[in-house]
Structure 1
Amino acid sequence: MNKLPKIAFPVIIAAVVLFIILVKSAVTIGSGEAGVLYKTFGGGVVTEEEPLGEGFHVVAPWNKVYIYEVRQQELFEKMKVLSSNGLEIQIDASAWYQPVYGDLGKLHQTLGENYLQRVIQPAIRSAARSVVGRYTPEQLYSSKRDAIQDEIFVETKKILEKQYVQLNEVLVRDVTLPSTIKEAIERKLKQEQESLEYEFRLVTAQKEAEKQRIEAQGKADANRILSASLTDKILQDKGIEATMKLSESSNSKVIVIGSGDSGLPIILGNQ
Protein backbone atom coordinates (compact mmCIF):
# COMPACT_ATOMS: atom_id res chain seq x y z
CA MET A 1 0.00 0.00 0.00
CA ASN A 2 1.43 3.32 -1.08
CA LYS A 3 1.89 5.89 1.56
CA LEU A 4 0.48 9.36 0.96
CA PRO A 5 3.11 12.00 0.42
CA LYS A 6 3.92 13.94 3.56
CA ILE A 7 2.72 17.14 1.94
CA ALA A 8 -0.78 15.70 1.61
CA PHE A 9 -1.49 15.75 5.34
CA PRO A 10 -1.09 19.49 5.79
CA VAL A 11 -3.24 20.06 2.71
CA ILE A 12 -5.99 17.85 4.08
CA ILE A 13 -5.83 19.51 7.47
CA ALA A 14 -5.93 22.96 5.90
CA ALA A 15 -8.91 21.95 3.77
CA VAL A 16 -10.78 20.64 6.80
CA VAL A 17 -10.02 23.82 8.77
CA LEU A 18 -11.10 25.96 5.81
CA PHE A 19 -14.33 23.99 5.50
CA ILE A 20 -15.09 24.45 9.18
CA ILE A 21 -14.40 28.17 8.90
CA LEU A 22 -16.69 28.48 5.89
CA VAL A 23 -19.46 26.56 7.63
CA LYS A 24 -19.21 28.75 10.71
CA SER A 25 -18.91 31.89 8.61
CA ALA A 26 -21.88 31.24 6.32
CA VAL A 27 -25.20 32.67 7.43
CA THR A 28 -28.46 32.35 5.51
CA ILE A 29 -31.27 34.68 6.49
CA GLY A 30 -34.73 33.60 5.44
CA SER A 31 -37.70 35.48 4.04
CA GLY A 32 -39.19 38.02 6.42
CA GLU A 33 -36.14 37.92 8.67
CA ALA A 34 -33.12 40.09 9.43
CA GLY A 35 -29.89 39.51 11.28
CA VAL A 36 -28.13 41.45 14.02
CA LEU A 37 -24.35 41.13 13.89
CA TYR A 38 -22.39 40.69 17.11
CA LYS A 39 -18.64 41.35 16.76
CA THR A 40 -16.73 39.48 19.43
CA PHE A 41 -13.62 41.62 19.02
CA GLY A 42 -15.26 44.68 17.53
CA GLY A 43 -17.47 46.30 20.15
CA GLY A 44 -20.28 43.80 20.49
CA VAL A 45 -23.70 44.41 18.93
CA VAL A 46 -23.66 46.49 15.75
CA THR A 47 -26.30 49.18 16.24
CA GLU A 48 -25.24 51.93 13.81
CA GLU A 49 -25.52 49.84 10.65
CA GLU A 50 -28.47 48.30 8.87
CA PRO A 51 -29.22 44.70 9.92
CA LEU A 52 -28.26 41.86 7.61
CA GLY A 53 -31.01 41.33 5.07
CA GLU A 54 -32.43 38.20 3.49
CA GLY A 55 -30.07 35.82 1.72
CA PHE A 56 -26.56 34.42 2.12
CA HIS A 57 -23.90 36.21 4.16
CA VAL A 58 -20.33 35.44 5.17
CA VAL A 59 -19.13 36.73 8.53
CA ALA A 60 -16.01 36.16 10.55
CA PRO A 61 -16.26 32.82 12.35
CA TRP A 62 -15.68 34.42 15.74
CA ASN A 63 -18.68 36.74 15.27
CA LYS A 64 -22.34 35.83 15.77
CA VAL A 65 -25.56 36.67 13.95
CA TYR A 66 -28.89 36.81 15.80
CA ILE A 67 -31.86 36.35 13.49
CA TYR A 68 -35.19 38.12 14.10
CA GLU A 69 -38.52 37.88 12.34
CA VAL A 70 -39.33 41.35 11.03
CA ARG A 71 -42.73 40.59 9.50
CA GLN A 72 -45.93 41.61 11.23
CA GLN A 73 -46.74 39.22 14.05
CA GLU A 74 -49.81 38.75 16.22
CA LEU A 75 -50.10 38.51 19.99
CA PHE A 76 -53.27 37.07 21.59
CA GLU A 77 -54.05 38.19 25.12
CA LYS A 78 -56.76 37.28 27.64
CA MET A 79 -56.74 39.88 30.39
CA LYS A 80 -58.77 40.31 33.56
CA VAL A 81 -59.16 43.98 34.41
CA LEU A 82 -61.39 46.10 36.66
CA SER A 83 -64.11 48.47 35.49
CA SER A 84 -64.67 51.93 36.99
CA ASN A 85 -66.89 50.46 39.73
CA GLY A 86 -64.45 47.67 40.59
CA LEU A 87 -66.07 44.74 38.77
CA GLU A 88 -63.81 42.21 37.07
CA ILE A 89 -64.01 42.23 33.28
CA GLN A 90 -62.29 39.81 30.90
CA ILE A 91 -60.90 41.31 27.69
CA ASP A 92 -59.88 39.14 24.72
CA ALA A 93 -57.59 41.19 22.50
CA SER A 94 -54.89 40.79 19.92
CA ALA A 95 -52.05 43.09 18.91
CA TRP A 96 -50.32 43.30 15.52
CA TYR A 97 -46.67 44.29 15.92
CA GLN A 98 -43.22 44.07 14.39
CA PRO A 99 -39.73 45.26 15.34
CA VAL A 100 -38.53 48.53 13.83
CA TYR A 101 -36.20 47.30 11.10
CA GLY A 102 -33.59 50.05 11.33
CA ASP A 103 -33.41 49.75 15.14
CA LEU A 104 -33.10 45.97 15.27
CA GLY A 105 -29.58 46.19 16.72
CA LYS A 106 -30.77 48.49 19.51
CA LEU A 107 -33.72 46.19 20.19
CA HIS A 108 -31.36 43.23 20.53
CA GLN A 109 -28.99 45.18 22.75
CA THR A 110 -31.62 46.57 25.12
CA LEU A 111 -34.34 43.88 25.21
CA GLY A 112 -33.05 40.78 23.48
CA GLU A 113 -34.85 38.05 21.59
CA ASN A 114 -37.66 37.69 24.15
CA TYR A 115 -38.77 41.32 23.76
CA LEU A 116 -42.37 40.11 23.40
CA GLN A 117 -42.52 39.00 27.04
CA ARG A 118 -40.32 41.82 28.28
CA VAL A 119 -42.15 44.80 26.83
CA ILE A 120 -45.12 44.11 24.52
CA GLN A 121 -47.22 42.00 26.86
CA PRO A 122 -46.69 44.28 29.89
CA ALA A 123 -47.46 47.35 27.74
CA ILE A 124 -50.77 46.10 26.39
CA ARG A 125 -51.86 44.79 29.80
CA SER A 126 -51.05 48.11 31.46
CA ALA A 127 -52.92 50.06 28.77
CA ALA A 128 -55.95 47.75 29.03
CA ARG A 129 -56.14 48.17 32.82
CA SER A 130 -55.88 51.94 32.48
CA VAL A 131 -58.49 52.27 29.74
CA VAL A 132 -61.10 49.81 31.02
CA GLY A 133 -60.90 51.40 34.47
CA ARG A 134 -62.50 54.54 33.01
CA TYR A 135 -65.75 52.83 31.99
CA THR A 136 -68.68 51.10 33.65
CA PRO A 137 -69.65 47.52 32.67
CA GLU A 138 -72.74 48.87 30.92
CA GLN A 139 -70.64 51.15 28.72
CA LEU A 140 -68.25 48.33 27.89
CA TYR A 141 -71.15 46.02 27.00
CA SER A 142 -73.11 48.40 24.82
CA SER A 143 -71.40 51.31 23.13
CA LYS A 144 -67.78 51.75 24.16
CA ARG A 145 -66.03 48.70 22.70
CA ASP A 146 -64.63 50.60 19.72
CA ALA A 147 -63.58 53.44 22.01
CA ILE A 148 -61.61 51.23 24.39
CA GLN A 149 -59.99 49.48 21.42
CA ASP A 150 -58.71 52.79 20.06
CA GLU A 151 -57.60 54.02 23.47
CA ILE A 152 -55.70 50.81 24.27
CA PHE A 153 -53.96 51.10 20.89
CA VAL A 154 -52.92 54.71 21.49
CA GLU A 155 -51.58 54.09 25.01
CA THR A 156 -49.72 50.90 24.05
CA LYS A 157 -48.20 52.57 21.00
CA LYS A 158 -46.76 55.38 23.12
CA ILE A 159 -44.96 52.84 25.29
CA LEU A 160 -43.62 50.71 22.45
CA GLU A 161 -42.34 53.61 20.34
CA LYS A 162 -39.58 54.04 22.94
CA GLN A 163 -38.75 50.33 22.82
CA TYR A 164 -37.95 49.97 19.08
CA VAL A 165 -41.21 48.09 18.43
CA GLN A 166 -43.87 49.18 15.95
CA LEU A 167 -47.51 48.57 16.94
CA ASN A 168 -49.82 48.35 13.93
CA GLU A 169 -53.22 47.55 15.45
CA VAL A 170 -55.03 46.45 18.60
CA LEU A 171 -58.27 44.49 18.21
CA VAL A 172 -60.66 43.88 21.11
CA ARG A 173 -62.31 40.60 20.13
CA ASP A 174 -64.55 40.08 23.14
CA VAL A 175 -65.58 41.71 26.41
CA THR A 176 -66.90 39.23 28.99
CA LEU A 177 -68.85 40.51 31.97
CA PRO A 178 -69.93 38.55 35.08
CA SER A 179 -73.14 36.71 34.17
CA THR A 180 -75.25 38.50 36.81
CA ILE A 181 -74.11 41.92 35.55
CA LYS A 182 -74.70 40.94 31.93
CA GLU A 183 -78.24 39.74 32.67
CA ALA A 184 -79.04 42.93 34.61
CA ILE A 185 -77.76 45.10 31.75
CA GLU A 186 -79.79 43.13 29.20
CA ARG A 187 -82.96 43.55 31.30
CA LYS A 188 -82.34 47.27 31.59
CA LEU A 189 -81.72 47.64 27.87
CA LYS A 190 -84.91 45.71 27.12
CA GLN A 191 -86.93 47.95 29.45
CA GLU A 192 -85.45 51.05 27.85
CA GLN A 193 -86.35 49.73 24.40
CA GLU A 194 -89.93 49.00 25.45
CA SER A 195 -90.19 52.48 26.97
CA LEU A 196 -88.97 54.07 23.75
CA GLU A 197 -91.48 52.05 21.72
CA TYR A 198 -94.32 53.14 24.05
CA GLU A 199 -93.29 56.78 23.81
CA PHE A 200 -93.19 56.50 20.02
CA ARG A 201 -96.70 55.04 19.87
CA LEU A 202 -97.96 57.73 22.27
CA VAL A 203 -96.45 60.56 20.23
CA THR A 204 -97.84 59.05 17.01
CA ALA A 205 -101.35 58.85 18.52
CA GLN A 206 -101.12 62.43 19.78
CA LYS A 207 -100.07 63.66 16.35
CA GLU A 208 -102.94 61.80 14.67
CA ALA A 209 -105.47 63.23 17.15
CA GLU A 210 -104.10 66.73 16.59
CA LYS A 211 -104.36 66.26 12.82
CA GLN A 212 -108.01 65.17 13.08
CA ARG A 213 -108.81 68.10 15.40
CA ILE A 214 -107.25 70.57 12.97
CA GLU A 215 -109.16 69.07 10.01
CA ALA A 216 -112.47 69.22 11.93
CA GLN A 217 -111.82 72.79 13.02
CA GLY A 218 -111.01 73.73 9.45
CA LYS A 219 -114.27 72.28 8.15
CA ALA A 220 -116.25 74.02 10.90
CA ASP A 221 -114.60 77.36 10.13
CA ALA A 222 -115.28 76.93 6.41
CA ASN A 223 -118.97 76.16 7.00
CA ARG A 224 -119.31 79.12 9.34
CA ILE A 225 -117.74 81.50 6.83
CA LEU A 226 -119.91 80.11 4.00
CA SER A 227 -123.13 80.43 6.05
CA ALA A 228 -122.30 84.00 7.00
CA SER A 229 -121.71 84.98 3.37
CA LEU A 230 -124.97 83.51 1.92
CA THR A 231 -127.41 86.47 2.30
CA ASP A 232 -130.89 86.55 0.71
CA LYS A 233 -129.71 88.99 -1.98
CA ILE A 234 -126.81 86.69 -2.96
CA LEU A 235 -129.10 83.64 -3.09
CA GLN A 236 -131.59 85.54 -5.28
CA ASP A 237 -128.84 86.66 -7.68
CA LYS A 238 -127.52 83.11 -7.92
CA GLY A 239 -131.03 81.83 -8.69
CA ILE A 240 -131.54 84.37 -11.47
CA GLU A 241 -128.13 83.53 -12.91
CA ALA A 242 -128.99 79.81 -12.97
CA THR A 243 -132.39 80.58 -14.59
CA MET A 244 -130.76 82.57 -17.36
CA LYS A 245 -128.44 79.67 -18.17
CA LEU A 246 -131.36 77.24 -18.27
CA SER A 247 -133.34 79.52 -20.59
CA GLU A 248 -130.57 79.26 -23.14
CA SER A 249 -130.88 75.47 -23.23
CA SER A 250 -132.43 73.83 -26.36
CA ASN A 251 -134.80 71.73 -24.22
CA SER A 252 -138.46 72.84 -24.23
CA LYS A 253 -139.61 74.62 -21.06
CA VAL A 254 -141.96 77.26 -19.72
CA ILE A 255 -140.54 79.98 -17.52
CA VAL A 256 -142.96 81.91 -15.32
CA ILE A 257 -141.24 85.11 -14.16
CA GLY A 258 -141.75 86.17 -10.59
CA SER A 259 -143.96 83.29 -9.57
CA GLY A 260 -141.60 81.56 -7.14
CA ASP A 261 -140.61 82.34 -3.53
CA SER A 262 -138.67 85.57 -3.23
CA GLY A 263 -139.63 86.47 -6.78
CA LEU A 264 -137.50 83.73 -8.43
CA PRO A 265 -138.78 82.22 -11.71
CA ILE A 266 -140.59 78.88 -11.86
CA ILE A 267 -139.42 76.58 -14.65
CA LEU A 268 -142.00 74.21 -16.16
CA GLY A 269 -141.45 71.84 -19.01
CA ASN A 270 -139.89 68.58 -20.10
CA GLN A 271 -137.17 67.45 -22.41
Structure 2
Amino acid sequence: MTSQRRIRITPQRIIAAIIALMGVLLLNASWRTIAPGSVGIAFNRANNTITAYQEPGWVLVNPFTTTVYDYPATLQTYVMVQKADEGPVYGDDSIKVQSRESQQLNLDVAIQYRVNTAGISDLYTDWGGQSIGAIEEQVVRQQSRSALTMVASTYSWEELSGEKRADVADQVEAHLTRVFAQRHLILEDFVIREVHVPEHLKTALDNKIERQQAVEQQQYAFERAQIQAEQQGIEAEGQANVNRATAQGDSDALMIRAQSQAKANQILSSSLTEALLKYQLIERWDGQVPLSIDDN
Protein backbone atom coordinates (compact mmCIF):
# COMPACT_ATOMS: atom_id res chain seq x y z
CA MET A 1 0.00 0.00 0.00
CA THR A 2 1.42 3.28 -1.19
CA SER A 3 1.22 6.08 1.25
CA GLN A 4 0.42 9.56 0.00
CA ARG A 5 1.88 12.65 1.59
CA ARG A 6 -0.74 15.25 2.25
CA ILE A 7 0.12 18.95 1.95
CA ARG A 8 -0.94 20.68 5.08
CA ILE A 9 -2.52 24.08 4.47
CA THR A 10 -1.62 26.38 7.27
CA PRO A 11 -2.55 30.03 7.89
CA GLN A 12 1.08 31.00 7.26
CA ARG A 13 1.04 29.41 3.83
CA ILE A 14 -2.23 31.10 2.94
CA ILE A 15 -0.82 34.49 3.95
CA ALA A 16 2.36 33.85 1.94
CA ALA A 17 0.32 32.92 -1.13
CA ILE A 18 -1.77 36.04 -0.78
CA ILE A 19 1.34 38.18 -0.42
CA ALA A 20 2.91 36.57 -3.49
CA LEU A 21 -0.24 37.10 -5.52
CA MET A 22 -0.45 40.73 -4.43
CA GLY A 23 3.22 41.15 -5.36
CA VAL A 24 2.58 39.82 -8.85
CA LEU A 25 -0.46 42.04 -9.26
CA LEU A 26 1.43 45.05 -7.94
CA LEU A 27 4.37 44.40 -10.25
CA ASN A 28 2.02 44.02 -13.18
CA ALA A 29 0.26 47.26 -12.26
CA SER A 30 3.61 49.06 -11.96
CA TRP A 31 4.60 48.41 -15.55
CA ARG A 32 3.31 50.78 -18.21
CA THR A 33 3.84 50.55 -21.94
CA ILE A 34 4.69 53.54 -24.12
CA ALA A 35 3.28 52.51 -27.51
CA PRO A 36 5.43 52.69 -30.68
CA GLY A 37 5.14 56.09 -32.35
CA SER A 38 4.25 57.75 -29.04
CA VAL A 39 5.86 59.71 -26.24
CA GLY A 40 4.85 59.35 -22.62
CA ILE A 41 4.31 61.54 -19.58
CA ALA A 42 4.34 60.13 -16.06
CA PHE A 43 2.65 62.40 -13.52
CA ASN A 44 3.28 61.71 -9.83
CA ARG A 45 0.37 63.04 -7.83
CA ALA A 46 2.20 62.68 -4.55
CA ASN A 47 4.89 65.24 -5.31
CA ASN A 48 3.50 66.86 -8.51
CA THR A 49 6.48 65.82 -10.63
CA ILE A 50 6.40 65.09 -14.35
CA THR A 51 8.67 62.61 -16.08
CA ALA A 52 8.85 62.57 -19.89
CA TYR A 53 9.57 59.41 -21.88
CA GLN A 54 10.65 60.08 -25.45
CA GLU A 55 11.14 56.46 -26.46
CA PRO A 56 8.52 53.69 -26.64
CA GLY A 57 8.81 50.71 -24.31
CA TRP A 58 8.08 49.68 -20.70
CA VAL A 59 8.40 52.04 -17.74
CA LEU A 60 8.13 51.18 -14.05
CA VAL A 61 6.04 53.57 -11.93
CA ASN A 62 4.27 53.70 -8.63
CA PRO A 63 0.73 52.63 -9.54
CA PHE A 64 -0.78 54.32 -6.49
CA THR A 65 0.59 57.80 -7.13
CA THR A 66 1.60 57.93 -10.80
CA THR A 67 -0.44 58.09 -14.00
CA VAL A 68 1.08 57.64 -17.47
CA TYR A 69 -0.30 59.48 -20.51
CA ASP A 70 0.53 58.77 -24.16
CA TYR A 71 0.73 61.38 -26.95
CA PRO A 72 1.39 60.56 -30.62
CA ALA A 73 4.83 61.47 -31.94
CA THR A 74 4.08 60.64 -35.58
CA LEU A 75 2.42 62.77 -38.28
CA GLN A 76 -1.31 63.16 -37.65
CA THR A 77 -3.94 63.95 -40.29
CA TYR A 78 -7.28 65.53 -39.43
CA VAL A 79 -9.88 65.98 -42.15
CA MET A 80 -13.16 67.89 -42.27
CA VAL A 81 -15.08 66.96 -45.39
CA GLN A 82 -18.57 66.72 -46.81
CA LYS A 83 -18.32 62.98 -47.43
CA ALA A 84 -20.19 61.11 -44.73
CA ASP A 85 -17.80 58.24 -44.02
CA GLU A 86 -14.50 60.15 -44.00
CA GLY A 87 -13.07 61.98 -41.02
CA PRO A 88 -13.73 61.81 -37.28
CA VAL A 89 -17.27 63.18 -37.58
CA TYR A 90 -19.88 61.15 -39.43
CA GLY A 91 -21.91 63.13 -41.95
CA ASP A 92 -21.24 66.50 -43.54
CA ASP A 93 -18.32 67.96 -41.60
CA SER A 94 -17.11 70.39 -44.27
CA ILE A 95 -16.42 73.98 -43.25
CA LYS A 96 -19.19 76.40 -44.20
CA VAL A 97 -17.88 79.82 -45.19
CA GLN A 98 -19.36 82.98 -46.64
CA SER A 99 -17.73 84.80 -49.50
CA ARG A 100 -17.33 88.54 -49.86
CA GLU A 101 -20.79 88.63 -51.50
CA SER A 102 -22.27 86.60 -48.60
CA GLN A 103 -22.57 83.47 -50.73
CA GLN A 104 -22.24 80.24 -48.76
CA LEU A 105 -19.74 77.59 -49.86
CA ASN A 106 -18.64 74.33 -48.27
CA LEU A 107 -14.91 73.58 -48.14
CA ASP A 108 -13.22 70.21 -47.59
CA VAL A 109 -9.92 70.59 -45.74
CA ALA A 110 -7.10 68.39 -44.45
CA ILE A 111 -4.67 69.37 -41.68
CA GLN A 112 -1.43 67.58 -40.97
CA TYR A 113 0.36 68.25 -37.69
CA ARG A 114 2.72 66.81 -35.08
CA VAL A 115 3.00 67.05 -31.33
CA ASN A 116 6.07 69.07 -30.34
CA THR A 117 7.80 66.24 -28.49
CA ALA A 118 10.62 68.54 -27.36
CA GLY A 119 8.10 70.39 -25.20
CA ILE A 120 5.94 67.44 -24.20
CA SER A 121 6.10 68.33 -20.50
CA ASP A 122 4.81 71.84 -21.25
CA LEU A 123 2.03 70.38 -23.38
CA TYR A 124 0.90 68.19 -20.52
CA THR A 125 1.09 71.06 -18.02
CA ASP A 126 -0.71 73.63 -20.21
CA TRP A 127 -3.45 71.20 -21.18
CA GLY A 128 -3.83 69.73 -17.69
CA GLY A 129 -3.31 66.18 -18.91
CA GLN A 130 -6.09 66.27 -21.50
CA SER A 131 -5.97 63.63 -24.24
CA ILE A 132 -4.83 64.26 -27.77
CA GLY A 133 -8.47 63.97 -28.84
CA ALA A 134 -9.41 66.94 -26.66
CA ILE A 135 -6.45 68.94 -28.00
CA GLU A 136 -7.46 68.14 -31.58
CA GLU A 137 -11.01 69.30 -30.92
CA GLN A 138 -10.01 72.63 -29.40
CA VAL A 139 -6.99 73.50 -31.55
CA VAL A 140 -6.89 71.57 -34.81
CA ARG A 141 -10.62 71.58 -35.43
CA GLN A 142 -11.88 74.83 -33.91
CA GLN A 143 -8.93 77.04 -34.82
CA SER A 144 -8.88 75.77 -38.41
CA ARG A 145 -12.58 76.41 -38.90
CA SER A 146 -12.32 79.87 -37.37
CA ALA A 147 -9.27 80.91 -39.43
CA LEU A 148 -10.70 79.64 -42.71
CA THR A 149 -14.02 81.38 -42.14
CA MET A 150 -12.24 84.66 -41.44
CA VAL A 151 -9.92 84.52 -44.47
CA ALA A 152 -12.57 83.29 -46.92
CA SER A 153 -14.85 86.23 -46.17
CA THR A 154 -12.40 88.57 -47.94
CA TYR A 155 -12.65 86.72 -51.29
CA SER A 156 -15.40 86.41 -53.88
CA TRP A 157 -17.05 83.05 -54.38
CA GLU A 158 -15.46 82.76 -57.84
CA GLU A 159 -12.00 83.37 -56.37
CA LEU A 160 -12.59 80.79 -53.62
CA SER A 161 -13.68 78.16 -56.12
CA GLY A 162 -10.97 79.00 -58.63
CA GLU A 163 -7.64 80.71 -58.88
CA LYS A 164 -7.39 82.05 -55.31
CA ARG A 165 -7.94 78.77 -53.46
CA ALA A 166 -4.20 78.25 -52.93
CA ASP A 167 -3.80 81.84 -51.65
CA VAL A 168 -6.55 81.28 -49.08
CA ALA A 169 -4.91 78.04 -47.91
CA ASP A 170 -1.52 79.78 -47.58
CA GLN A 171 -2.99 82.55 -45.41
CA VAL A 172 -4.79 80.08 -43.16
CA GLU A 173 -1.64 77.97 -42.86
CA ALA A 174 0.45 80.99 -41.84
CA HIS A 175 -2.09 81.89 -39.13
CA LEU A 176 -2.41 78.32 -37.83
CA THR A 177 1.35 77.85 -37.70
CA ARG A 178 1.55 80.55 -35.03
CA VAL A 179 -1.52 79.31 -33.15
CA PHE A 180 -0.35 75.69 -33.12
CA ALA A 181 3.14 76.65 -31.91
CA GLN A 182 1.64 78.45 -28.92
CA ARG A 183 -0.15 75.21 -28.00
CA HIS A 184 2.87 72.93 -28.47
CA LEU A 185 1.84 71.57 -31.86
CA ILE A 186 3.69 71.76 -35.18
CA LEU A 187 1.58 72.42 -38.27
CA GLU A 188 2.92 70.54 -41.29
CA ASP A 189 0.32 71.33 -43.94
CA PHE A 190 -3.11 72.84 -44.51
CA VAL A 191 -4.91 71.95 -47.75
CA ILE A 192 -8.29 72.93 -49.21
CA ARG A 193 -9.16 69.67 -50.90
CA GLU A 194 -12.40 70.68 -52.57
CA VAL A 195 -14.85 73.58 -52.81
CA HIS A 196 -18.55 72.72 -52.97
CA VAL A 197 -20.52 75.43 -54.77
CA PRO A 198 -24.35 75.70 -54.59
CA GLU A 199 -26.19 74.69 -57.74
CA HIS A 200 -27.32 78.21 -58.67
CA LEU A 201 -23.76 79.48 -58.44
CA LYS A 202 -22.46 76.49 -60.37
CA THR A 203 -24.97 77.23 -63.14
CA ALA A 204 -23.90 80.88 -63.21
CA LEU A 205 -20.25 79.84 -63.34
CA ASP A 206 -20.90 77.38 -66.20
CA ASN A 207 -22.74 80.10 -68.16
CA LYS A 208 -19.88 82.51 -67.61
CA ILE A 209 -17.36 79.94 -68.79
CA GLU A 210 -19.44 79.31 -71.93
CA ARG A 211 -19.58 83.04 -72.66
CA GLN A 212 -15.85 83.38 -72.15
CA GLN A 213 -15.21 80.47 -74.47
CA ALA A 214 -17.48 82.02 -77.12
CA VAL A 215 -15.63 85.33 -76.84
CA GLU A 216 -12.30 83.53 -77.05
CA GLN A 217 -13.45 81.66 -80.16
CA GLN A 218 -14.58 84.92 -81.79
CA GLN A 219 -11.29 86.56 -80.87
CA TYR A 220 -9.43 83.60 -82.33
CA ALA A 221 -11.44 83.78 -85.57
CA PHE A 222 -10.81 87.55 -85.80
CA GLU A 223 -7.10 87.16 -85.22
CA ARG A 224 -6.94 84.34 -87.77
CA ALA A 225 -8.74 86.51 -90.35
CA GLN A 226 -6.28 89.31 -89.63
CA ILE A 227 -3.35 86.98 -90.15
CA GLN A 228 -4.81 85.69 -93.42
CA ALA A 229 -5.44 89.25 -94.63
CA GLU A 230 -1.89 90.21 -93.74
CA GLN A 231 -0.55 87.16 -95.57
CA GLN A 232 -2.66 87.97 -98.64
CA GLY A 233 -1.46 91.57 -98.53
CA ILE A 234 2.14 90.43 -98.32
CA GLU A 235 1.62 88.04 -101.24
CA ALA A 236 -0.11 90.75 -103.32
CA GLU A 237 2.66 93.22 -102.57
CA GLY A 238 5.25 90.64 -103.52
CA GLN A 239 3.48 89.91 -106.82
CA ALA A 240 3.20 93.65 -107.54
CA ASN A 241 6.91 94.02 -106.91
CA VAL A 242 7.58 91.15 -109.29
CA ASN A 243 5.34 92.73 -111.92
CA ARG A 244 6.99 96.10 -111.48
CA ALA A 245 10.40 94.53 -111.77
CA THR A 246 9.35 92.65 -114.91
CA ALA A 247 7.86 95.79 -116.50
CA GLN A 248 10.94 97.77 -115.60
CA GLY A 249 13.10 95.07 -117.13
CA ASP A 250 11.05 95.08 -120.34
CA SER A 251 11.16 98.85 -120.51
CA ASP A 252 14.90 98.88 -119.97
CA ALA A 253 15.34 96.24 -122.68
CA LEU A 254 13.27 98.23 -125.17
CA MET A 255 15.20 101.35 -124.32
CA ILE A 256 18.49 99.59 -124.84
CA ARG A 257 17.34 98.15 -128.18
CA ALA A 258 16.04 101.55 -129.32
CA GLN A 259 19.27 103.20 -128.33
CA SER A 260 21.27 100.54 -130.13
CA GLN A 261 19.13 100.86 -133.28
CA ALA A 262 19.40 104.64 -133.24
CA LYS A 263 23.13 104.44 -132.90
CA ALA A 264 23.32 101.92 -135.72
CA ASN A 265 21.18 104.13 -137.95
CA GLN A 266 23.37 107.08 -137.12
CA ILE A 267 26.48 105.17 -138.06
CA LEU A 268 24.88 103.86 -141.26
CA SER A 269 23.61 107.30 -142.22
CA SER A 270 27.00 108.88 -141.78
CA SER A 271 28.62 106.21 -143.94
CA LEU A 272 26.21 106.44 -146.94
CA THR A 273 27.85 108.85 -149.45
CA GLU A 274 26.39 109.74 -152.92
CA ALA A 275 29.12 107.81 -154.73
CA LEU A 276 28.49 104.75 -152.55
CA LEU A 277 24.79 104.88 -153.31
CA LYS A 278 25.42 105.09 -157.11
CA TYR A 279 27.82 102.20 -156.91
CA GLN A 280 25.32 100.05 -154.98
CA LEU A 281 22.60 100.93 -157.52
CA ILE A 282 24.78 99.88 -160.43
CA GLU A 283 25.66 96.68 -158.61
CA ARG A 284 22.00 95.80 -158.22
CA TRP A 285 21.03 96.75 -161.87
CA ASP A 286 19.82 93.80 -163.88
CA GLY A 287 20.47 95.40 -167.31
CA GLN A 288 16.92 96.44 -167.84
CA VAL A 289 15.80 99.92 -168.69
CA PRO A 290 15.19 102.33 -167.26
CA LEU A 291 18.21 103.06 -165.06
CA SER A 292 18.48 106.62 -164.01
CA ILE A 293 21.44 107.98 -162.24
CA ASP A 294 21.35 111.60 -161.36
CA ASP A 295 24.83 112.95 -161.90
CA ASN A 296 24.06 116.27 -160.36
Classify the TM-score, shorter chain: 0.7 to 0.9
Which SS does the other structure have where 1:53 is aligned? Answer: coil
Aligned to 1:97: 113
Establish whether residue 132 from structure 1 lines up as the match of residue 135 from structure 2: no
Quote how far apart the aligned CAs of 1:54 are: 0.9
Which SS does the other structure have where 2:53 is aligned? Answer: coil
Q: Which moved more, 1:101-110 or 1:201-210?
A: 101-110
Aligned to 1:32: 37
1:216 to 236, 242, 260: 236
Please tell me whether the aligned partners of residues 51 and 105 of structure 1 are also in contact (alpha carbons under 8 angstroms): no
Aligned to 1:164: 184
Structure 2: which 5+ runs fail to align? 1-5, 81-93, 261-296
State the TM-score, normalizing by the size of structure 1: 0.79
Which SS does the other structure have where 2:154 is aligned? Answer: coil
Quote how far apart the aligned CAs of 1:30 are: 1.7
Aligned to 1:70: 73
Please tell me whether the aligned partners of residues 131 and 152 of structure 1 are also in contact (alpha carbons under 8 angstroms): yes
Q: Which moved more, 1:143-152 or 1:65-74?
A: 143-152
Please tell me whether the aligned partners of residues 51 and 104 of structure 1 are also in contact (alpha carbons under 8 angstroms): no
Cα shift readout 1:201-237 (whole Å, capped 9, x = no counterpart): 1011111111111221222133223323433243579
For the structure 1 residues 20 and 233, does the alpha-carbon distance in structure 2 shift closer, same or farther, using more than 3 Å as the test? same
Aligned to 1:258: none
- 1:114-263 alignment, distance < 5 Å: 114-229=134-249, 230-231=251-252, 232-235=254-257
Tell me the C-alpha RMSD between the 2 structures.
2.3
Cα shift readout 1:176-220 (whole Å, capped 9, x = no counterpart): 122111111111111011101110110111111111112212221
Cα shift readout 1:228-261 (whole Å, capped 9, x = no counterpart): 34332435799xxxxxxxxxxxxxxxxxxxxxxx
Distance 1:235 1:123 in 2: 99
1:88 to 94, 97, 104: 104
Q: Which moved more, 1:172-181 or 1:4-13?
A: 4-13
Please tell me whether the aligned partners of residues 123 and 183 of structure 2 are also in contact (alpha carbons under 8 angstroms): yes
Which AA in structure 2 matches 1:192?
A: Q
Which SS does the other structure have where 1:128 is aligned? Answer: helix
Quote how far apart the aligned CAs of 1:147 are: 2.3
Which AA in structure 2 matches 1:72?
A: L
Please tell me whether the aligned partners of residues 37 and 64 of structure 1 are also in contact (alpha carbons under 8 angstroms): yes
Identity, in percent, stands at: 23
For the structure 1 residues 56 and 215, does the alpha-carbon distance in structure 2 shift closer, same or farther, using more than 3 Å as the test? same
Structure 1: which 5+ runs fail to align? 239-271
Establish whether residue 17 from structure 1 lines up as the match of residue 33 from structure 2: no
Which AA in structure 2 matches 1:224?
A: R
Which SS does the other structure have where 2:71 is aligned? Answer: strand
Which SS does the other structure have where 2:168 is aligned? Answer: helix
State the TM-score, normalizing by the size of structure 2: 0.73
Distance 2:78 2:236 in 1: 70
Distance 1:211 1:6 in 2: 118
Quote how far apart the aligned CAs of 1:13 are: 3.8
Aligned to 1:54: 56
Which AA in structure 1 matches 2:46?
A: F
- Counting matched residue pairs gives 236
Please tell me whether the aligned partners of residues 51 and 102 of structure 1 are also in contact (alpha carbons under 8 angstroms): no
After TM superposition, what 4+ stretches of structure 1 lie above 6 angstroms from structure 2?
A: none
Please tell me whether the aligned partners of residues 51 and 101 of structure 1 are also in contact (alpha carbons under 8 angstroms): no
For the structure 1 residues 52 and 11, does the alpha-carbon distance in structure 2 shift closer, same or farther, using more than 3 Å as the test? farther
Please tell me whether the aligned partners of residues 93 and 173 of structure 1 are also in contact (alpha carbons under 8 angstroms): yes
